[in-house]
Amino acid sequence: MKEIRFEHVSKSYGKTEVVKDLNLTIKEGERLILLGPSGCGKSTTLRMIAGLEDVTSGSIYMDKQKVNDVPSGKRNVAMVFQNYALYPHMKVIDNITYGLKVKKMSADEIKHRTDAALEMLQLKQYKDRLPKDLSGGQRQRVALARAVVKQGDCFLLDEPLSNLDAQLRVSARKELVKIHETFKQTLVYVTHDQTEAMTVGDRIALMYQGKLQMVDTPDNVYHRPANIFTAKFIGSPPMNVVDADFQQDKLLFNKQALQLSPEWSRFIQETGATELAFGTRPEHIHLSKIPLDNSITGQVKQVENHGSSYGVYLDVEGQEWIAMSETKNWLPNETVHIEIRMDKIHLFDKETTNSIGYPKNFYGE
């Protein structure tokens, strides 16, 4: 149970800077998700916490102690690897207890911890098997058990569910949350999967090209994205983010216009922004064959079946939009009317790609 703090941490391999000036505080006992596409530096960040990678510049602290030069073995962290990293020649029980035995822990204590972990992860009947005789899900649980018995200060997980199939992943992530709620260690979890991030995390740290994009709760990351990257990365299908001009109290898409609320209009005027990117989630769009108040029009390009609803790809003044619809009765090239939930829109500065924020009193602030 320790706080982990990154202060201006950078990491380079040769000339490639994979983590750039990272400042991040991981609170004691929280579940922090490091989320991002492959190559964004999230795994490297996790490995720097474990001491498996050197820090090129900056400092990492655990509570008050600077740990840059503390070797891995002295940091008291437990880690679950993507490939599980089980010792192939050791039985399940030996995999779990080996790390404790080399520490010369008392046999009683080892047994106590191991029994609890085997129980919690339903591994009792597999304890004499070799890893190769286990299914993927069982191996993953053994890796978890091995990390759990260590009772380290920090619990680090590197894409722990990515080798499981979709069904298993759902139950595994629930199990993980349960384990964390038992031990309450500081948990850092690396994933590229936004669903895992949303469901497991207390907070999400989104990274892209080595840079931290946003750190906040899943709700805020989803509903109040700090920049265009975050807006488009979180949510499936992704948010529509298109170019728009602001004039008086309207958003212009070429010749078409959307009326903004007085709060938004005043707010945009205050910030002085003119070149904007406009964001709206596909599920906040309502399509109609007949004209609606404050709507714009677009042409249907393609309809995709998503099961519970249909994804309708639209051409709106030369930009591609996607809207979710309950029905599939949309014909290619048909002109449709697009109504947007104006209380759920997002606006970004086109140059900095940052959100220009939200009007005060709009979200009850």
Partner 1 sequence: MKTNRFASIPWHILFIGLIIILIFPIIFAIGTSFKPLQDAYNNVLNFIPISPTLENYQTFFESLDVVKITFNTFIIAATVTLFKVFTSFLAAYAFVFFHFKGKNILYFVLISTIFIPFSVTMIPNYLVISDLGLADSVWGVILPQLADAVGIFLLRQSMKTIPVSLIEVARLDNLGHARIMKDIVLPLVKPAVTSTGIWFFILSWNEYVWPVLILKTVDNYTLPLALQMYISSEGGTNFTVAMAVAVITMIIPLTLYLLFQRYIIGTFTSSGIK
- Rule CB under 8 A: which residues touch partner 1? 50-54, 71-75, 77-79, 81-83, 85, 87-89, 98-99, 102-103, 132, 146, 150
Q: Is the peptide bond before 237 cis (omega within 30 degrees of 0)?
A: yes
Number of H helices, E strands in the chain: 9, 20
Cβ atoms of 219 and 246 closer than 8 Å: no
Phi (first) and psi of residue 276, to 5 degrees: -120, 160
Show the binding pattern over residues 271-290: x = contacts a second copy (CB under 8 A), - = does not: ----------x-x-------
308 binds a second copy (CB under 8 A): yes
Q: Which stretch binds a second copy (CB under 8 A): 42-50, 103-111, 149-157, 192-200?
A: 192-200
Q: Give the DSSP letter of residue 343.
A: G
| Choice from 141, 192, 203, 346 touching a second copy (CB under 8 A) | 192
Q: Is the Cβ of residue 229 or residue 267 nearer to a second copy in the bound state? A: 229
Tell me phi and psi for residue 19, to 5 degrees.
-130, 130
- Binding part of the chain for a second copy, among 8-16, 20-28, 243-251, 305-313 by CB under 8 A, reads 305-313
Q: Please give the sequence-ordered ranges of beta strands (E in DSSP) within 36-131, or none if there are none.
A: 57-62, 65-66, 77-80
Q: Which does 174 bind (CB under 5 to 8 A by kind): a second copy, partner 1, none?
A: a second copy
166 binds, among partner 1, a second copy, none (CB under 5 to 8 A by kind): a second copy
How far apart CA 49 and CA 25 sit, in angstroms, is 12
Three-state SS at 224: coil
Give residue 358's Cα distance to chain centre. 22
Q: What is the DSSP letter of 72?
A: G
Residue 105 interface partner, choices partner 1, a second copy, none, CB cut-off 5-8 Å depending on type: none
Q: Residue 89 binds what, of a second copy, partner 1, none (CB under 5 to 8 Å, by partner type)?
A: partner 1
Would you give the binding string for a second copy spanning residues 5-44, x where CB under 8 A is met? --------------------------------xx------
Residue count, binding to a second copy (CB under 8 A): 33
Q: What is the DSSP letter of 354?
A: B
Closest CA to 304 of 233, 234, 237, 241: 237
Give the contact letters, 215-254, x = binds to a second copy (CB under 8 A), - = no: ---xx--x---------x-xxxxx----------------
Q: Whole-number minimum distance, CB 201 to a second copy, in Å?
A: 8
Binds 165, which of a second copy, partner 1, none (CB < 5 to 8 A, cut-off by type)?
a second copy
Contact (Cβ atoms closer than 8 angstroms) between residue 353 and residue 211: no
How far apart, in whole angstroms, are the C-alpha atoms of residue 144 and residue 265?
51
Q: Which of 16, 88, 104, 166 binds a second copy (CB under 8 A)?
A: 166
| 78 touches, from a second copy, partner 1, none (C-beta below 5 to 8 Å by class) | partner 1
Residue ranges in 92-131 that form contacts with a second copy under rule CB under 8 A: none
Confirm if 6 and 58 have CB atoms less than 8 A apart: yes
Which does residue 53 touch among a second copy, partner 1, none (CB within 5 to 8 A, set by kind)? partner 1
CA pair distance 222, 217, nearest whole angstrom: 9
Instruction: Judge residue 267's burial from the number of C-beta atoms within 10 Å of its C-beta, 0-12 exposed, 13-18 middle, 19 or more buried.
Output: buried
Cα 264 from chain centre: 29
Site for a second copy contains 177 (CB under 8 A): yes
Binding residue (CB under 8 A) for a second copy from 50, 70, 105, 170: 170
Q: 71: buried, middle or exposed (CB in 10 Å: 19+, 13-18, 0-12)?
A: exposed
Which residues in this chain contact a second copy in the complex, by CB under 8 A?
37-38, 165-167, 170, 174, 177, 192, 194-195, 198-199, 218-219, 222, 232, 234-238, 281, 283, 302, 304-308, 311, 313, 328
